[in-house]
Each structure stands twice: as structure tokens, then as C-alpha cells.
A and B are shown apart, each in its own frame.
Chain A
Amino acid sequence: DTGVSQDPRHKITKRGQNVTFRCDPISEHNRLYWYRQTLGQGPEFLTYFQNEAQLEKSRLLSDRFSAERPKGSFSTLEIQRTEQGDSAMYLCASSELRVEAFFGQGTRLTVV
């Protein structure tokens, strides 16, 4: 499978716990994006990497959120001290050029 892979697919956590999600982009794609999607809404931009450099961050990305892409390949998104409002689908996408972005299946986070 050469698509964008996200792990885990589902995560249930207690409020206050930390969670980390992983995204493996399509190989050789130098651009990687994280989005968040809540029920009934379209995806909202969180952050963007070009290779290992994090070039853009949304104001939605509070200081409890951190994303890394240490070697310019896979990326992780960590949420510290989770809150119920963090419950959402977290989507990762990658692209080689700006034109076509391919999305993974997402990680559904439920904070109880």
C-alpha cells in the first residue's frame, strides 16, 4: 500500500492524558499536512511541513499541541493534557507538489 498511513485508527483516552499520533506520508512526498475534522464540519488546517521544517501553524494549534517531522519522512502529532474538545478526527495528508494532496484514513480521537 503506497497511500498515506495513519496510526492508530482509533484512540480513546481519559481527559488529561497525553496522546501521540503517527503519519507516514507517501514516500518521496516532501509536503505533509495535519488537519482536524469535527463532526459535520470540513477539515481545518493545523500545520504544514516541507521536509523537516514546520512552515505554517494554525491558531487552532494551541500550546498543548506539538507536531514533528524529524527526518522529513514520518510525522507525529502530540496532544498534551487532552480535553473533551479535542475529540475529533485527525487527518494527515501529503503531496509532492502543491497541486494534489492525498489524505490518510485519519485517527479518530475520543476524550472521555
Chain B
Amino acid sequence: GEDVEQSLFLSVREGDSSVINCTYTDSSSTYLYWYKQEPGAGLQLLTYIFSNMDMKQDQRLTVLLNKKDKHLSLRIADTQTGDSAIYFCAETSGTGNQFYFGTGTSLTVIP
């Protein structure tokens, strides 16, 4: 469960939807996470999904999970300039005691 991959950059126009993608490797991960990091700051937990779910919606955020392909995505509806940040997906180790993070996707929202 140590290879979590994300594309590095994404630019969208304000008001459009953003979709950030992630592939992971550990099929035993119980939970998968999305974190947001603003410049110089720590990580903010945005949402997580239990591995037996396909989709989770939380206000402007929609998480889709395809366990067969080990693919996770985060959709942000009506993207705002305040959404500009780096987004990390993460999976847990088999013990659940470690989080493995991707390299992060830098989202830039163009006004």
C-alpha cells in the first residue's frame, strides 16, 4: 500500500467542477481519504469513504470509489478560488496505523 499516485496539476475556472483522481495499491485498505493542504499549513481532512461504498457526497464534494480498478476520485462542484490548494488522497495500511499519501494534486482555480 505504498504507491498512491495522483496527477500533479489541475486548473479549472471558477464555477466549474474539478475532478481530482487517485490510484492506490492496497486492496485491503478499509478507508480512503482526501486531505487539503494550503500553502505553509498542515493537512485538513476533507472527507473519507469506507471501502464498501461506491460513492459519498458531502455538500460540494463527491467521492467516487472503484475498488476493482483501485481508483478514487474527488469532485468539487462550483469550484471557488478558496479551493486552490494541494489535494492529497491517502489509504491506510493493513494495520490501519499508517496513512500512505499520494504526491498531491495542485489545484489552481482561475477567476
Q: Residues on A close to B: CB < 8 A?
A: 4, 6, 31, 33, 35, 40-45, 48, 55-56, 58, 91, 93, 98-106, 108
Query: B89-105: which residues lie under 8 A (CB-CB) from chain A?
Result: 90, 92, 95-104
Q: Residues on B close to A: CB < 8 A?
A: 4, 30-31, 35, 40-45, 48, 88, 90, 92, 95-104
- Tell me which residues across on chain B come within 8 A of A98, comparing CB atoms: 30-31, 92, 96-97
- Tell me which residues across on chain A come within 8 A of B43, comparing CB atoms: 43, 91, 93, 103
The 8 Å CB contact of A45, one of B40, B41, B45, B98, is B98
Residue of A nearest to B86 (CB): A42
A103 near B42 (CB under 8 angstroms)?
yes
- Tell me which residues across on chain B come within 8 A of A58, comparing CB atoms: 98
B101 near A43 (CB under 8 angstroms)?
yes
The 8 Å CB contact of A56, one of B48, B95, B104, is B95
A42 near B95 (CB under 8 angstroms)?
no
Q: How far is the CB of A32 from chain B (nearest CB, A)?
A: 11
The 8 Å CB contact of B45, one of A35, A40, A55, A102, is A102
- Tell me which residues across on chain A come within 8 A of B41, comparing CB atoms: 105-106
B45 near A100 (CB under 8 angstroms)?
yes
- Tell me which residues across on chain A come within 8 A of B48, comparing CB atoms: 99-100
Q: How far is the CB of B34 from chain A (nearest CB, A)?
A: 12
- Tell me which residues across on chain A come within 8 A of B98, comparing CB atoms: 33, 45, 48, 56, 58
The 8 Å CB contact of B103, one of A42, A45, A101, is A42
